């Protein structure tokens, strides 16, 4: 059987959907008995450092508009290539396809939180997703919380939406102490003790409230930690940088930008606590990445984040900066609490494996 696999999320700087696409593809290949054709509107997938093992089989020779490619060009390419089934990994697919397809819809934020998306993205994706979802042979959701939202918002039959969890990549793990510690501390100018956030710098991640909570901890609780924020800039990030200035945190908050996976693993290992107070997620990959590295986690007490974290994280109200501050304080000031969360996190994350996700996805194809 010939499988077409959508790798278009890898044509732009990597986000959670890009990580999902990379890891699922890599773990499908050893299990799939037929041929896999990687599908994209551009062959130039690796300008942003993505793994070069994916050969794009049916991309056009030149990059073109993604929507034009998917809706007009791709169906003809699938017919010529004799593809038996396709998997589209980022919510959209051709309105007409010569073969059955599966589509992964990561969350319903385009409808539930439209204020956190570019107008162009809303216009480009919202008209297509309901049609695509209804025509799909199956829909994958990455958590039960996401499934509930998708079923409700898109009016889908629940039996056609299948939950298959994401997972941390294998390189996220506890690291033994070694010379790398001094090297990375010196190269990245890391403080002795720090609180870590990883994710896009954008309003949906609730970073202004995190900054306010951190300011409380610095001023009222006199903690010595710095706050490090890792991730590429999203949109409306100016409000976040302005909050740093307004709260007098210029010397206590650092934006490290996008880091390599190797450095990210090291930062997770060195952080006293990882905090992820996002307002809405379909899964929340940074939470399980931190747990896989043995880092205590503070995250939101709602939706997919609470589902994924279970009892292995300090859960806080993301709309209450005092709750966020108290959750962080409990972890950084109570060694016993931090150790318990570290142990629970390492156990909890064993439930999330890409090998299992790949096997469940192949079962769905069949």
Side-by-side strand order, sheet with 314-316: 253-257, 226-230, 194-198, 273-276, 297-300, 314-316
Domain boundary, last residue among 100, 131, 164: 164
Whether 208 shows a pLDDT value over 80: the answer reads yes
H/E stretch holding 79 reads: helix 74-81
47 and 184 belong to one structural domain: no
3-state helix, strand, coil in the chain (%, to 5): 45, 15, 40
Q: State pLDDT tens for residues 220-266.
A: 999 999 999 999 887 778 899 999 999 999 999 999 999 999 999 99
218 plus 319 within the same structural domain: yes
Same domain, 271 and 301: yes
Q: Is residue 248 left, alpha or beta, with left meaning phi > 0 and alpha meaning psi from -120 to 50?
A: left
The DSSP code sequence of 197-250 is: EES-BSGGGTHHHHHHHHHHHHHHS----EEEEES-B-SSTHHHHHHHHHTT-T
What pLDDT does 58 receive?
59
Domain that holds residue 91: 2-164
pTM of the model: 0.93
Which CATH number does the domain housing residue 93 bear? 3.40.50.2000
The tens digit of pLDDT for each residue in 33-91 reads 999 999 998 765 533 334 445 655 656 666 678 889 999 999 999 999 999 999 999 99
Q: Into how many domains does the chain fold?
A: 2
The chain-wide mean pLDDT, for the chain, equals 93
Residue 320 to residue 305: CA distance in whole angstroms: 16
Query: Does 12 reside within a domain?
Result: yes
Same structural domain, 235 and 347: yes
Checking if the pLDDT of 164 tops 50, the result is yes
């Amino acid at each position: 059987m010939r499988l077409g696999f959508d790798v278009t999320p890898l044509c732009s700087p990597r986000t959670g959907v890009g990580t999902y696409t990379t890891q699922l593809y890599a773990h499908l290949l050893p299990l799939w008995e037929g041929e896999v054709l990687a599908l994209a509107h551009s062959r130039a997938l690796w300008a942003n450092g993505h793994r070069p093992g994916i050969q794009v089989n049916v991309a056009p020779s030149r990059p073109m508009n993604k929507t034009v490619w998917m809706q007009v060009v791709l169906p003809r390419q699938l017919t010529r290539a004799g593809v038996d089934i396709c998997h589209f990994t980022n919510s959209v697919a051709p309105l007409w396809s010569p073969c059955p397809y599966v589509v992964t819809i990561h969350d319903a934020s385009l409808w539930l939180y439209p204020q956190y998306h570019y107008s162009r993205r809303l216009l480009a994706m919202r008209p297509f997703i309901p049609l695509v979802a209804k025509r799909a042979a199956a829909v994958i959701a990455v958590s039960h919380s996401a499934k509930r939202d998708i079923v409700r918002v898109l009016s889908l039959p629940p039996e056609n939406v299948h939950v298959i969890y994401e997972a941390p990549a294998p390189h996220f793990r506890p690291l033994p102490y070694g010379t790398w510690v001094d090297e990375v501390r010196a190269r990245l100018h890391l403080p002795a003790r720090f609180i870590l956030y990883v994710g896009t710098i954008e309003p949906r991640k609730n970073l202004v409230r995190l900054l306010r909570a951190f300011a409380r901890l610095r001023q009222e609780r006199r903690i010595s930690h710095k706050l490090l924020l890792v991730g590429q800039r999203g949109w409306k990030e100016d409000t976040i940088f302005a909050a740093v200035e307004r709260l007098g945190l210029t010397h206590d908050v650092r934006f490290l930008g996008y880091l390599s996976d190797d450095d990210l693993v090291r930062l997770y290992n060195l952080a006293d606590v990882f905090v992820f107070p996002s307002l809405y997620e379909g899964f929340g990959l940074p939470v399980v990445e931190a747990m896989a590295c043995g880092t205590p986690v503070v995250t939101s007490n709602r939706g997919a984040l609470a589902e994924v974290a279970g009892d292995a994280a300090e859960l806080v109200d993301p709309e209450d900066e005092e709750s966020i501050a108290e959750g962080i304080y409990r972890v950084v000031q109570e060694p016993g609490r931090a150790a318990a969360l570290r142990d629970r996190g390492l156990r909890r994350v064993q439930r999330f494996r890409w090998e299992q996700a790949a096997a469940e996805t192949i079962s769905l194809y069949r």
